[in-house]
């Protein structure tokens, strides 16, 4: 058996192993949820009624079923793309018809990405207009849904396609260190977008308005001053345009930094609770979590480009997927298609770090507002309103969750949750 054949079978095995782990974890979680489905667990009695808990269980199980279908579909789709020969055939069409310039090869990568996205649109539609609608979360219209995707497509044409061409062009003139230059180019674009996105891109999808004058605005501005958080303004985002889920975040840097609150968050929480949630977000900033996560992302990206550079020099890597050597574009494509699978296996480590940061941000918020009860009350309401899984299997939450569970956060805050 040729080495490239072994590589192909190995990659297929890794893809199927990921699917097996996903389905196994889903089964564990489903059984764990069903084992606690008959009555509200004692830890939640007093602030979660039976109706909300039943809806939470039903929503969790529905998402698990849909997630399993989605996992199988995406895995089969990826296997077909990688091993059916369609990618080398399409590459040949582009190379013959358009040549092998950076712009032509970038067009090949862009079109493949577009086709993959188009084939997953039905799943996105079902999730929004079937699953989310069934449980009362969907508020978007078909027009808004399609408009969002058209805008995203235009942005990818304007930003993503030129970036792909730039990365391929760098390969031709940067020599053996092209991977380092590619990393620098992507990092520069990411930093630029982090500044410009809140000003130029976010308003394309959502309407942002200044938070009206009043006690909430005054309280949040006072909180920002107390915690030494410089924010240009506090804005309200029309999140209810698409969903009843709620959130709060801050975005941008320097004078472009802004606190953004979903209008659904304002509707669901009291003013002290909103203040506690914003204090939590400020905690991420004051504790240095954001630059640390950016650094982790930068290191991961650098490692990714280095691995790509190593693989791009191996003829067996191209032959394993039906390509000939001589053009690096297929290496970019294969690596991009498999990056998500690689990320799946290291995801639990990143999530573990993220959960640690969430605990620290919670502790900061409790100190900033002078007590923990407002944050605990906010977390209870948000978990209830969002029908969060209150009893996930520990292995499931440990693998997937970037945030601790409600009980874990209450215990860390010294809350009154009972086990």
- Point out the residues that are catalytic: 281, 362
Residue 329: count other Cβ atoms within 10 Å of its Cβ.
22
HEC-encoded secondary structure of the chain: CCHHHHHHHHHHHHHHHHHHHHHHHHHHHHHHHHHCCCCCCHHHCCCCCHHHHHHHHHHHHHHHHHHHHHHHHHHHHHHHHHHCCHHHHHHHHHHHHHCCCHHHHHHHHHHHHHHHHHHHHHHHHHHHHHHHHHCCCECCCHHHHHHHHHHHHHHHHHHHHHHHHHHHHHHHHCHHHHHHHHHHHHHHHHHHHHHHHHHHHHHHHCCEEECCCCHHHHHHHHHHHHCCCCCCEEEEECHHHCECCCCEEEECCHHHCEEEEEHHHHHHCCHHHHHHHHHHHHHHHHCCHHHHHHHHHHHHHHHHHHHHHHHHCCHHHHHCCCCCCCCCHHHHHHHHHHHHHHHHHHHHHHHHHHHHHHHHHHHHHHHHHCCCHHHHHHHHHHHHHCCCCCCCCHHHHHHHCCCCCHHHHHHHHCCCCCC
Helices 178-196, 289-312: crossing angle, 10 deg rounding? 150
- What is the distance between the alpha carbons of residues 56 and 302, in angstroms, rounded to a whole number? 40
Q: Closest by alpha carbon to 64, among 99, 101, 93, 24?
A: 24
Q: Closest by alpha carbon to 113, among 301, 320, 333?
A: 333
- What is the distance between the alpha carbons of residues 210 and 217, in angstroms, rounded to a whole number? 9
What are the C-alpha distances in Å from 243 to residues 135, 203, 264, 315?
A: 11, 17, 9, 48
């Amino acid at each position: 058996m040729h080495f490239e054949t072994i590589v192909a079978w190995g990659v297929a095995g890794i893809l199927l192993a990921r699917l097996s782990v996903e389905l196994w974890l889903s089964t564990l979680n489903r059984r764990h949820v069903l084992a606690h489905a008959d009555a509200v667990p004692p830890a939640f009695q007093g602030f979660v009624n039976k109706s909300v808990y039943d809806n939470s269980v039903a929503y969790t199980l529905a998402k698990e079923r849909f997630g399993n279908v989605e996992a199988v579909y995406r895995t089969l789709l990826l296997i077909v793309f990688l091993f059916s020969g369609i990618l080398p055939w399409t590459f040949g069409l582009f190379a013959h018809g358009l040549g092998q310039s950076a712009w032509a090869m970038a067009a090949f990568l862009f079109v493949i990405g577009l086709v993959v996205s188009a084939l997953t649109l039905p799943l996105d539609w079902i999730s929004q207009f079937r699953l989310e609608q069934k449980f009362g979360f969907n508020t978007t219209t078909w027009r808004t849904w399609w408009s969002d995707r058209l805008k995203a497509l235009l942005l990818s044409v304007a930003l993503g396609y030129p970036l792909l061409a730039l990365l391929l062009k760098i390969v031709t003139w940067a020599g053996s260190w092209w991977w380092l230059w590619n990393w620098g180019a992507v990092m520069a674009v990411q930093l630029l977008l982090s500044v410009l996105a809140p000003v130029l891109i976010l308003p394309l999808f959502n309407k942002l308005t200044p938070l009206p004058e009043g006690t909430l605005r005054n309280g949040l501005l006072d909180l920002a001053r107390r915690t030494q958080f410089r924010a240009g303004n506090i804005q309200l985002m029309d999140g209810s345009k698409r969903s009843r889920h709620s959130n709060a975040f801050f975005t941008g840097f320097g004078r472009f930094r802004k606190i953004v609150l979903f209008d659904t968050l304002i509707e669901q929480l009291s003013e002290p609770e909103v203040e506690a949630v914003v204090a939590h977000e400020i905690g991420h900033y004051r504790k240095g979590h954001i630059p640390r996560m950016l650094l982790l992302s930068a290191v991961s990206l650098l490692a990714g480009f280095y691995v790509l550079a190593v693989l791009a020099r191996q003829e067996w890597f191209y032959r394993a997927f039906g390509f000939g050597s001589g053009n690096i574009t297929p290496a970019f494509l294969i690596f991009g298609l498999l990056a998500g699978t690689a990320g799946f296996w290291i995801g639990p480590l990143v999530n573990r770090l993220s959960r640690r940061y969430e605990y620290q941000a919670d502790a900061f918020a409790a100190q900033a507002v002078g007590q923990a009860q407002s944050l605990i009350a906010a977390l209870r309401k948000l978990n209830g309103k969002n029908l969060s899984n209150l009893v996930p299997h520990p292995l499931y939450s440990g693998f997937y969750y970037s945030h601790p569970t409600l009980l874990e956060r209450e215990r860390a805050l010294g809350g009154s949750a009972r086990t």
